[in-house]
Amino acid sequence: MKIRTGFGFDVHRLVEGRDLWLGGIKIEHSMGLLGHSDADVLIHAICDALLGAANMRDIGYHFPDTSGEFEHIDSKILLKKTVALIATKGYTVGNIDATVCAERPKLKNFIPQMQQVLAEVMDVDVEDVSIKATTTERLGFTGREEGISAYAVALISKGL
């Protein structure tokens, strides 16, 4: 059996007039994230972690923000495509551990739903999707509520 890990990071600016999508769910908030797709920073970080673990470059390489095909796309579709991409090299998702950094909205009540949605998209058990939320204690761009960032680590394997 071969086991590999990967790390992902993403950040998007908060703006008025956009929906806030995190972990594949829409969260009511006064602002949303700006991006070519739905700008779901959590899913984008997970995609990068999976692609990195498989040594398949990054989300921007596979789903460029210069392509009309991906404009306003639901990031759950990108995650599903990412899982299919790593499968072409024989890998399956083992587990995900991710952290979202945001001052507001408070995310703890949304985490179980995010875990369920992401587990379904990746075809893994909900126990294999860990999501945590934190603030930056009002420091930096996140603390000033200018944006939201996310970090993710993925474990993938093949040969089971």
d(CA 157, CA 22): 26
Sign of CA dihedral 98, 104, 106, 112: negative
Q: Is 28 annotated as a binding residue?
A: no
Q: Is 136 annotated as a binding residue?
A: yes
Q: Is 92 annotated as a binding residue?
A: no
With H, G, I as helix, E, B as strand and everything else as coil, classify residue 66: coil
Q: Is 11 annotated as a binding residue?
A: yes
Q: Is 72 annotated as a binding residue?
A: no
Q: Is 62 annotated as a binding residue?
A: no
Q: Is 10 annotated as a binding residue?
A: yes
Q: Is 3 annotated as a binding residue?
A: no
Q: Is 44 annotated as a binding residue?
A: yes
Q: Is 121 annotated as a binding residue?
A: no
Strands 92-101 and 147-158: antiparallel
Q: Is 59 annotated as a binding residue?
A: yes
Question: For 36-103, where are the alpha helices, taking DSSP H only?
Answer: 41-53, 59-62, 75-87
Residue set of the binding site: 10-12, 36-37, 44, 58-60, 134-137, 141, 144
Residue set of the binding site for a divalent metal cation: 10, 12, 44
